[in-house]
Amino acid sequence: MNLRKIPRANLFVSEIGFGTWGIGSDSLGSIAYGKTDDQVSRAALVEALKLGISFFDTSDFYGYGHSENLLGSVFRNQRENVFFATKGGLLCASEKDFSIKHIENAIASSLRRLQTDYIDLYQLHNPNKQTTELDELIPFLQKKKKDGSIRLIGLSADNPSDAIYFIQRYSIDSIQINFNLIDQRPIESGLLELCEKNEIMVISRTPLCFGFLTDSEIDIDNLPKNDHRNLWPKEQLALWRDARHKFSFLKQEFPNLSMVEIALNFCLSYRAVTTVIPGILTSDEVSMNAKVSSIKKFSQNILEKIEKTYKENTFFLTRKNE
């Protein structure tokens, strides 16, 4: 497993990370990708560390703490070998709380569930430009950084426009953003370039676009109960379902690579990206994702072809809030 240095810290993390939204699913009515089995989830976490994955991204919103509980119980005796990146502030799909009081309590609760006395990266979960509390909250997090409760401060952004705004206004160490073959807004907007220039860690979220950038055909009419993709318009799901076929030339260029390998390798071919966090549910998925680290990164020529294909096609019903 290749490691990449976090720009503003003397820390290295696996370039393939583990997104844990899915393993928190089906707890207290939460939604992600349907029902999960904790025994299977625990086995996947163990296998991940065995294969060199050290970066684990979670949130107190994932299963309302269940995802953090799983991480804490599995890694309580191997804390020095893992990097915990968690989030706070998102209460439900339509409600957020970025008050100092809430975040202070959220950090304490996350520390308890993760069974640790420090959080490697604490991220605010999907604030936007109108989140005025950040003016007081970021300095508060800086104090938590000084007292050792958290080591790094990050923001998980809804879109590149918000991310750029945060970078220009606040002193932060990390940005988490959607970035994949069919969502190249971080390139278009100049966000990746800005992060590289300012030594901001980039975490590539949804590198497989909710499972649509795999070799499997997703039946959008029969998704599992409690699968968040049911909340998207069918027209949008259809666009994503058919999207991988627009990049068929990559399968011809790299016949030995699966679509998963192509999709993850695309993200990792940009120097600004520190780690990618595909959502992982099983040990088999761990193995499939981890081996991407051994693949040679795409050349500039290939990346230009990919960017050109993206520009020539439409993958979103709307492109609001870019």
147 Cβ contact list (under 8 Å, min separation 6): none
- 17: its two tokens: 């990370």
Interatomic CA distance for residues 115 and 260, integer angstroms = 33
Interatomic CA distance for residues 50 and 120, integer angstroms = 20
Helix, strand or coil, per DSSP, at residue 90: strand
**CATH 3.20.20.100 at 3-311, yes or no:** yes
HEC per residue, 159-214: CHHHHHHHHHHCCCCEEEEECECCECHHHHCCHHHHHHHCCCEEEEECCCCCCCCC
Tens of pLDDT, residue by residue, the chain (322 residues): 999 999 999 999 999 999 998 888 755 555 555 677 899 999 999 999 999 999 999 999 988 899 999 999 999 999 999 999 999 998 877 799 999 999 999 999 999 999 999 999 999 999 999 999 999 999 999 999 999 999 999 999 999 999 999 999 999 999 999 999 999 999 999 999 999 999 999 999 999 988 889 888 888 888 877 777 877 788 989 888 899 899 999 999 999 999 999 999 999 999 999 999 999 999 999 999 999 999 999 999 999 999 999 999 989 887 555 5
Helix, strand or coil, per DSSP, at residue 130: coil
**Residues paired with 55 in a beta bridge:** 83
CA atoms 94, 99, 105, 106: torsion sign? positive
**Residues paired with 34 in a beta bridge:** none
User: Could you say which DSSP state residue 235 is in?
Assistant: H
Q: At residue 43, what are phi and psi to the nearest 5 degrees?
A: -65, -40
Round to the nearest angstrom and report the end-to-end CA distance of the chain: 33
**Residues paired with 125 in a beta bridge:** 156
Interatomic CA distance for residues 67 and 290, integer angstroms = 20
CA atoms within 13 A on the CB side of 18: 34
Contact (Cβ atoms closer than 8 angstroms) between residue 194 and residue 164: yes
Helix, strand or coil, per DSSP, at residue 246: helix
Q: Can you give the residue ranges of every domain in the chain?
A: 3-311
